[in-house]
Amino acid sequence: MIQIEDKDRKNITVTNLPEAVQQADYCKAVTEQLSTPNLKSLPNRGRSNIYISCVDTVSARFDIASFLKDYAGLINWECSKSLYWLDIGNARNIGQALLPTIGEIKQPNSKLYRTVSNLPMVIDEFKELLEAQADKNEPSCSLAEPLEKQNLFINSTLANMEASLLLKLFREGMTAHRGFFLNLANFRLEPIMVG
């Protein structure tokens, strides 16, 4: 069972997951580097419904996407089926988060909404832009960097926005947004719509 704490510190239980997934104690978050050599040591061999990455280089983003595309069709039962990848990146004052699907996800028929079964990966949608960028020596989001190199609040702002995106998806079972671009230098946020 997944429990999320909201702003009032009340536990919210997500109940729209299949019963087998809710009761499976082996379905849990794992914070490990995702690489081919360490797959055997990871729970469920690294298979997961949602992958979240925050990488500093273009090459790492392409590596993760390649891994997820190769892994997508290997297992198809609920707890291990790869569904989404929350891809996060940032530079000094800017950042982005994109939530693509890993393959197609069958959507229910709806008279109210236009459903979308496939959301593009960042490496497909912005491939030319990414390939044009060399891996720069940007400040790492995993280390404390001097304030001259990275905005003090870029990581925490991105983390809060990403968590809100996931919480909306978990609570409502759908979302009209699949990500956003953030620029803290001029205080702009540009949402990316699903359709």
Helix (H) / strand (E) containing 124? helix 122-125
Q: What is the pLDDT along the chain (195 residues), one digit of tens a residue?
A: 333 333 444 433 333 334 444 444 445 666 767 666 776 777 776 777 888 888 877 888 888 888 888 766 665 555 667 788 999 988 889 899 999 988 888 888 888 888 888 888 888 887 777 777 765 655 555 555 556 677 888 889 999 999 999 999 889 888 889 999 999 999 999 999 987
pLDDT for the residue numbered 66: 84
Indicate the CATH number of 2-193 among 2.20.25, 3.40.50, 1.10.357, 3.40.1350: 3.40.50
Task: State residue 17's pLDDT score.
Answer: 39
Helix (H) or strand (E) holding 177: strand 177-183
As to burial, measured by CB atoms within 10 angstroms (0-12 exposed, 13-18 middle, 19+ buried), residue 16 is exposed
Q: What is the DSSP letter of 74?
A: T
Could you tell me which residues come within 8 angstroms of residue 2 by beta carbon, excluding any fewer than 6 positions away? 13, 14, 17, 22, 170
